[in-house]
Structure 1
C-alpha cells in the first residue's frame, strides 16, 4: 500500500475578494510540481463564494466536472440551455466533451456558498457535452459509505466518462466502515469534509486529504463526528 497525505494548511490558497479558494492540486496561479493530480483526479477546489457573486461565463472541454455544494445555493447556466440551482445535498456533473460554456452564481444576498469543484480526466474525448444533477436525500446513509457517482448509468448516483466511483460517508464518533476498491489499479483520494477520522492508521482532520493506492481495501474509523468524501480514480491516465 502507498499513501500520500495533504494537510489542509498545505493547500494552495487564492483570495479574489469575492472568492476564497483552497486548491488540493495545482490550479491557476497555484503551481506545485509535486501536486499536479492524483491519477485521473486533476482538480479538487474548496470554494467559498460571497453573497451575490460568482463565476462569469467561461469555457471548458474534455473534462468531467463535478460540483458538490456544502452550504448555500449555486445557480448554474450553460450553453446547452440548462438553468438549475444546486444546493447542499445535491451533486452535479458536467461532461464538457467538445466544449461547453457555463456560469455559476451565488444568488443569495445574505449568505455565502461553499462548494467543492472537482475535475476528473475523462476516458473518452470529444464527446457531446452532457449535464446532470441529483439530490442525495433518498440514498444517503448514516455510518457507512454510500455511492454518489460511478461509470455506470444504471448505478446509484450520477455517472461519468471514467472508471471512477465517488462515495460519501457521515459518521458518528466511534463508528467504522470499510471501502473496497472497485477496479484493480485504481486508487482512492479521501477528503475530510468535517470532523476527525483515522484511515488505515493515519489521523486526519477537517479538509485534510489522503491518497491511497496499491491496496484492495480502506478502513475508516471516526474519532469524532465526521463526514468524508472518497474519490476512487484510475492511477494511470
Structure 2
C-alpha cells in the first residue's frame, strides 16, 4: 500500500515582501512547520513572484542542488563560476552548489513580474565541484506527455543533478491519461500542479496543490481539465 501526503495550495507558508511574493510548500525562512521540513531529498519548493527590476542580491550556497523553473517572465542569473545568463519560460536551470557558490537572481525586465519555482534538493555527495546547467525545452515536446527535464546525468539530454532524481513536466489536455513508473527503487514522487486539475492514484488535485507518494512502483495520472504538472522523483532516504 502506497504512502501519501497531501499539501493543498492554501495550506502553504506565505511571505509577501512587496517586491517578492513567495509561497512555501516546505519550511523556509520565517515559515517553520515541523510537519513540512522536506519530502525525502526534496527540501524546498518555493513558488515566487518578483516585481520588475527587483531580485535577490548575491548570496552563498553549498552542498545543495538548486533548480529554477521560470513560469512566466525572464530571470537574470549571475554566479561566482562566471555564468551570466537569462532564464526564460520553457528553460530549466540546475546549479550544483557543492563546495560553495555565490549567485544573484533578479527580474530581467522592469515592466512585468517574473514568476518561477525555486527548488532545492539534498545532493547524494557532498563537497563536489560546483556545476551549472541550463536547457530550453520546446513546449510541444511536453504536450500530452511527461517530458524529462532534470536527471542524474550521463546522457547529456538534461541538466545534471547531483542526486538520483528525475523531474518531468507535462502539459496535458483534458481527458488525457498516462502512467509514470518510478525509476529507482526507494524513490518517491512529489507532484505539483502548476495549472488545472489532475487526479493521481485516485487523489483529485487542483492548481498549486502538492501530493507526495512513495512505496509504490507506478502513478496513474489523468487530466480533469487542461493542466500543467511537475513531477519530482527523489530518494526518500538520503
TM range (shorter): over 0.9
Aligned partners of 2:95 and 2:132 also within 8 Å: yes
Aligned to 2:223: 222
Aligned to 1:198: 199
Q: Number of matched residues?
A: 237
Q: 1:41 to 1:106 in 2, by over 3 A?
A: same
The 4+ residue runs of structure 1 with deviation greater than 3 A are none
1:158 counterpart SS class: coil
Deviation at 1:152, TM superposition (A): 2.3
User: In 1, distance between residues paired with 2:156 and 2:131?
Assistant: 17
User: Normalising to structure 1: TM-score of the pair?
Assistant: 0.98
- Please list, as runs of the form range in 1=range in 2, the aligned pairs for 1:97-116 lying within 5 A after superposition: 97-116=98-117
Aligned to 1:125: 126
Aligned to 2:6: 5
CA RMSD of aligned residues (A): 1.0
Deviation at 1:141, TM superposition (A): 2.6
Q: Structure 1 unaligned runs (5+)?
A: none
User: In 2, distance between residues paired with 1:48 and 1:141?
Assistant: 24
Give deviations 1:49-89, integer Å, cap 9, x for gaps.
00110000000000000000000000000011100000000
Aligned partners of 1:144 and 1:176 also within 8 Å: no
2:10 counterpart SS class: helix
User: Normalising to structure 2: TM-score of the pair?
Assistant: 0.98
Q: Structure 2 unaligned runs (5+)?
A: none
- Please list, as runs of the form range in 1=range in 2, the aligned pairs for 1:1-237 lying within 5 A after superposition: 1-137=2-138, 140-154=141-155, 156-237=157-238
User: In 2, distance between residues paired with 1:131 and 1:229?
Assistant: 21
